């Protein structure tokens, strides 16, 4: 170490205190989890070598963060300890070896309670006479903040407990916000010009720590229980029994929680949850492993900061540092100009990342991003990564500012700026970039689903002037296709057959494929049921459109503007001439028997595809969601159903077999 250890020690303490303040008090993290862990590990190494330098105010001697002055303090009856961590199998084996040294007479394999580790806000709920009396944050582990009024607004928090629950009990758990809800929240904030949240954890923490409980209630938060503090009068032999009690008393327990025997099974659980990480709607940053036996936990005891009987096996970080090499503007199918950062390639969560969205001009300005900046990027799921924040301390002076263009970078048309200064659009509907994006959307799944019509082929069709809008696709001939790159006779025949098949797509699919701004799959299904023919939809006035379920005046205006355009009317006319059927929607218009009912499909249904099942439900006014929530009415369980059925049982949601589901649909006709 080039710097004196004592000087480096004070520097580390200062950096960690500042990071704690930014993360816990301001809800604006300045370090990634991986960066924070590196600093903390270095601090503990120095203090381990120089134990006489440890002070009571060192970050190593505390669990969390100081309480905010805006909330009343709550002292925890039993301290909420943090967890030791590991990142490799070798480190986990070291945890086991240390545990065995304290339990010299224990020779069997350890049984573990294995649980996903949520990236949320740790909370304690205190119940007296089975009634929720106090809710508090972790705070510094001894004293937290009183957030009772806010926690009462979360529907997965029981206000009273079921019979059999103890008279006094402290329930520990995590408050989380789903990824999809987080994206919806940030999208709404972006439209309002408000500052975007960095991640779901910060959105959840910001909601829970609002002075006005109505702000908390406006966000779809969930509370997952994972343990207890006091539990008077309840004897539990292991952690699994505690979780079973909590589930019986009305708490939400993640369905992936299980017991594992020995390190090999633990590692298999870790790898399974890691493989599910991106698909899950919940942000998870590792797994928590607890020695299951309560008697062994008591013998092992705890250090000042962490229990000896539990550890968090952390996932690889999904944030990383890299440099913005350039900023270019991308034109979408509706003409919106979006700045995109071209990055020095970096691996994030096992994937090489070269680009990241910068959202819009306002966000670019707010973050003060410049070409050449070193930035923190985050990747979640298959969505294009985003730049979380810039690291101004690493600027060299050679960085260049970037301004959004006054003309479209593709067709050179002057751009149009919205009143909110957020949306900048190219108004030229024939702009090649917009044409390409509209065709990508038109041919995609959930729309016309034209097999063989990929992005590279669309690029060629547009570049060579063969296709200018979706209607042109249905006039393509073999002679048009064969001269294209990598286009052989069989591929051309297959594409023409796919285009012929697409002409018979249901009306709802065609409406969704047209790319009407603000009209997705669900709204397209609503419009098809309400108006039944494409002509009736095109002729509907604003009042008729706005009266359709889930439409309203804003979407109605978007639909009317789209169909009023001469280019749209010409495109629909040419699609009809080319043989696109626009088949009338069968069934009744207006209010439907399953209106307001939400279904979730899981497993394999016999004799019907997932898309066909969805269409049957939507034809009767129902909705199909991708995940089980408190808003779900029915879960339809086919063969080999997965965790969604377990989730439905936890939330007491009706589970239907395929036969019961079909009978329900028949009875609704």
How far, CA to CA in Å, does 138 sit from each of 72, 122, 295, 592? Answer: 13, 6, 25, 47
Domain 319-422 in CATH 2.40.50.140? The answer is: yes
**Fold classification of 598-668 (topology level):** Rossmann fold (3.40.50)
Q: Which one of the listed residues 117, 179, 314, 367 is annotated catalytic?
A: 117
Report the first-to-last Cα separation within the chain, whole angstroms.
76
Ranges of the chain with pLDDT below 50: 1-2, 24-25, 65, 67-69, 381-382, 588-590
Q: Tell me how far apart the alpha carbons of residues 7 and 635 are, in angstroms, rounded to a whole number.
A: 60
Q: Are 504 and 524 in contact (CB under 8 A)?
A: no
Distance of CA 368 to the CA centre of its chain: 26
Q: What is the pLDDT of residues 27-73, one digit of tens each?
A: 567 777 677 778 888 888 888 888 888 776 677 765 554 544 467 88
SS3 at position 231: strand
Supply the CATH classification number for the domain 432-577: 1.10.150.20
Q: Tell me how far apart the alpha carbons of residues 450 and 476 are, in angstroms, rounded to a whole number.
A: 14
Query: How much is the pLDDT for 436?
Result: 92
Residue corresponding to tokens 């990071």: 19
Full DSSP string of 303-327: -SSSBTTEEEEEPPPSEEEEEEEEE
The vertex-233 CA angle with 230 and 236, nearest 5°, equals 75
Closest CA to 207 of 170, 178, 228: 178
How many helices (H) and strands (E) in the chain? 25, 24
Q: What pairs with residue 637 in β-bridges? A: 602
**DSSP code at position 161:** P
Query: How much is the pLDDT for 384?
Result: 64
Beta-strand runs (E) in 576-615? 598-602
Q: Tell me how far apart the alpha carbons of residues 74 and 131 are, in angstroms, rounded to a whole number.
A: 17
Query: How much is the pLDDT for 589?
Result: 46
Residue corresponding to tokens 């294995």: 114
Q: Tell me how far apart the alpha carbons of residues 344 and 471 are, in angstroms, rounded to a whole number.
A: 40
**Fold classification of 73-314 (topology level):** D-amino Acid Aminotransferase; Chain A, domain 1 (3.30.470)
Q: Tell me how far apart the alpha carbons of residues 141 and 374 are, in angstroms, rounded to a whole number.
A: 35
Q: Are 199 and 182 in contact (CB under 8 A)?
A: yes
SS3 readout for 243-306? HHHHHHCCCECCCCCEEEEHHHHHHHHHHHHHHHCCCCCCCEEEEEEEECEHHHHHHHCECCCC
Q: What is the pLDDT of residues 450-504, one digit of tens each?
A: 988 988 899 999 999 999 999 999 999 999 999 998 788 999 999 999 999 999 9
Which residue ranges make up each domain of the chain?
5-61, 73-314, 319-422, 432-577, 598-668
* Class (C level, CATH) for 5-61: mainly alpha
Active site residue 576: no
* Mode of pairing for the β-strands spanning 654-656 and 634-637: parallel
- Residue 433 neighbours by CB under 8 Å, 6+ apart: 330, 331, 332, 408, 410, 411, 426
């Amino acid at each position: 170490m080039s710097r004196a250890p004592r000087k480096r020690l004070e520097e580390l303490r200062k950096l960690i205190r500042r990071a704690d303040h930014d993360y816990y008090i301001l809800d604006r993290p300045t370090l990634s989890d991986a960066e924070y862990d590196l600093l903390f590990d270095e601090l503990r190494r120095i203090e381990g070598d120089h134990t006489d330098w440890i002070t009571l105010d060192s970050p190593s001697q505390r669990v969390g963060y100081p309480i905010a002055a805006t909330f009343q303090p709550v002292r925890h009856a039993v301290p909420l300890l943090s967890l030791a961590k590991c990142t490799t199998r070798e480190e986990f084996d070291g945890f086991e070896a240390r545990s065995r040294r304290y339990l010299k007479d224990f020779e069997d394999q350890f049984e573990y309670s294995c649980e996903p580790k949520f990236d949320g806000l740790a909370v304690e709920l205190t119940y007296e006479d089975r009634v929720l009396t106090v809710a508090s944050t972790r705070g510094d582990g001894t004293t937290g903040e009183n957030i009772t009024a806010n926690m009462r607004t979360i529907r997965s928090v029981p206000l009273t407990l079921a019979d059999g629950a103890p008279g006094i009990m402290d329930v520990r758990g995590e408050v989380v916000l789903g990824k999809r809800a987080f994206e919806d929240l940030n999208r709404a904030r972006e439209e309002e010009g408000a500052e975007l949240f960095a991640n779901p954890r910060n959105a959840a923490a910001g909601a829970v720590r609002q002075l006005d409980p109505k702000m908390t209630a406006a966000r779809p938060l969930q509370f997952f229980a994972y343990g207890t503090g006091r539990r008077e009068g309840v004897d539990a032999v292991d952690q699994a029994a505690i979780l079973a009690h909590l589930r019986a008393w009305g708490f939400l327990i993640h369905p992936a929680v299980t017991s594992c025997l020995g390190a090999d099974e633990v590692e298999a659980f870790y790898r399974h949850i890691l493989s599910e990480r991106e698909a899950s709607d919940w942000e998870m940053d590792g797994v928590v492993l607890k020695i299951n036996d309560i008697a062994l936990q008591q013998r092992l005891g705890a250090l000042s900061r962490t229990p000896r009987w539990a550890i968090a096996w952390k996932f690889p970080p999904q944030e990383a540092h890299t440099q913005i090499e350039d900023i270019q503007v991308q034109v979408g199918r509706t003409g919106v100009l979006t700045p995109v950062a071209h990055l020095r390639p970096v691996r994030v969560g096992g994937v090489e990342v070269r680009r990241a969205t910068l959202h819009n001009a306002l966000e670019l300005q707010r973050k003060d991003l410049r070409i050449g900046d070193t930035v923190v990027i985050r990747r979640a799921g298959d969505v294009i990564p985003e730049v979380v924040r810039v690291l101004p301390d690493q600027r060299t002076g050679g960085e260049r500012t970037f301004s959004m263009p006054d003309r479209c970078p593709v067709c050179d048309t002057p751009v149009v700026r919205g009143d909110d200064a957020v949306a900048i659009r190219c108004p030229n509907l024939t702009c090649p970039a917009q044409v390409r994006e509209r065709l990508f959307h038109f041919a995609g799944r959930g729309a016309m689903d034209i097999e063989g019509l990929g992005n590279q082929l669309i690029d060629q069709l547009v570049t060579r002037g063969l296709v200018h809008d979706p209607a042109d696709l249905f006039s393509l001939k073999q002679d048009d296709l064969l001269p294209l790159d990598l286009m052989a006779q069989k591929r051309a025949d297959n594409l023409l057959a796919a285009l012929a098949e697409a002409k018979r797509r249901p009306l709802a699919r065609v409406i969704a494929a047209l790319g009407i701004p603000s009209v997705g799959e669900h709204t397209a299904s609503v419009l098809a049921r309400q108006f039944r023919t494409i002509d009736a939809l095109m002729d509907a006035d604003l009042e008729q459109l706005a009266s359709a379920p889930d439409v309203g005046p804003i979407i109605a205006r978007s639909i009317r503007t789209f169909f009023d355009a001469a280019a749209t009317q010409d495109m629909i006319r040419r699609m009809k001439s080319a043989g696109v059927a626009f088949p009338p929607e069968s069934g009744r218009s207006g209010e439907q028997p399953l209106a307001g009912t939400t279904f979730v499909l899981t497993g394999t249904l016999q004799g019907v595809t997932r898309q066909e099942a969805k269409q049957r439900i939507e034809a009767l006014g129902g909705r199909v969601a991708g995940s089980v929530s408190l808003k779900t009415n029915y879960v339809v369980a086919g063969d080999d159903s997965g965790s969604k059925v377990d989730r439905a049982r936890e939330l007491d949601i009706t589970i239907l077999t395929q036969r019961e589901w079909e009978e329900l649909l028949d009875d609704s006709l």
